[in-house]
């Protein structure tokens, strides 16, 4: 089964488009957890236990694990092992190299850690993406239009009558031979999100930027979903992870996730 088909079925079964971004900042997790041998891992495992029945995916930002130093890989393995089958795991590392280096990055994320999908920067072209996309069961989300202010430095530059991000979208569409390629499109760009969905009616869109970054749930649903109200993977991180700084952090995360899912599904019912 291709990655994109699997994603669609999971979203349908769980009636959820929500992806929780695991960006565990040791400086922000509840102080009570610092007594654990692996406080970051414990924090993530409790978040997962409280929310896994409500989400379609978890996106693990590797930077927040790599900063832990030599213990980072064991923490990452432990967190991944706590995610139930039937939930998509996305390794958010934004790799973007070529040749043997890209092969090794893909082998690390998709082989060693067994992520279901990864994020990739296509600035160096097709050979920086191909190693991540050659297995139909593994997904690759290509950066198209990001939610950060610096996106305007390059992504909107016009060439051959179109902004650069539209050229990336067109290439990603061609690379989707195995039905496992998607795009990263920031929720803070609703007009462009609508345009990208028009260009790729059925490909999955990973949509960060909801919550702390100011993205709007309504626009993300209305413009990010396919015609059936699916294939938008809407990522929320800080507003869920740090909904409470106390001992009730996991319960608060669940309440936040449940509220977001209900809001998303209300808009899905309205528009699809």
Active-site residue set: 94
Is the CB of residue 57 less than 8 Å from the CB of residue 115? no
Q: Which of 199, 211, 198, 261 is nearest to 11 (CA)?
A: 261
Q: Are 169 and 128 in contact (CB under 8 A)?
A: no
CB burial of residue 104 (10 Å; 0-12, 13-18, 19+):
middle
Which residue pairs from 238-241 have beta carbons closer than 8 angstroms and sit at least 24 positions apart in sequence?
238/23, 238/211, 238/212, 239/210, 239/211, 239/212, 240/20, 240/21, 240/47, 240/51, 240/211, 241/20, 241/21, 241/22, 241/23, 241/24, 241/28, 241/47
């Amino acid at each position: 089964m291709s990655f994109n088909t699997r994603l669609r079925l999971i979203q349908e079964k769980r009636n959820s488009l929500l992806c929780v971004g695991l960006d565990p900042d040791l400086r922000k997790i509840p102080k009570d957890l610092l007594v654990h041998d692996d406080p970051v891992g414990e924090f993530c495992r409790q978040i997962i236990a409280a929310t896994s029945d409500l989400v379609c995916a978890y996106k693990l930002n590797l930077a927040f694990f790599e900063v832990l130093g030599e213990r980072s890989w064991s923490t990452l393995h432990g967190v991944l092992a706590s995610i139930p089958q039937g939930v998509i795991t996305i390794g958010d590392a934004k790799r973007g190299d070529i040749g043997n280096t890209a092969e090794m990055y893909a082998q690390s994320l998709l082989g060693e850690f067994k992520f279901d999908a990864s994020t990739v920067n296509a600035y160096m072209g097709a050979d920086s993406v191909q190693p991540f996309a050659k297995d139909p069961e593994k997904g690759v989300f290509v950066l198209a239009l990001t939610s950060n202010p610096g996106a305007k430095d390059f992504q909107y530059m016009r060439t051959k009558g179109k902004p650069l991000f539209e050229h990336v979208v067109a290439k990603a569409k061609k690379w989707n031979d195995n039905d496992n390629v998607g795009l990263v499109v920031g929720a803070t760009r609703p007009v462009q999100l609508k345009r990208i969905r028009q260009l790729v009616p059925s490909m999955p869109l990973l949509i960060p930027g909801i919550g702390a970054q100011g993205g709007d749930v309504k626009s993300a649903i209305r413009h990010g979903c396919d015609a059936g109200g699916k294939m938008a993977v809407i990522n929320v991180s800080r507003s869920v992870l740090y909904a409470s700084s106390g001992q009730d952090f996991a319960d608060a995360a669940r309440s936040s996730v449940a509220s977001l899912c209900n809001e998303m599904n209300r808009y899905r019912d309205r528009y699809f």
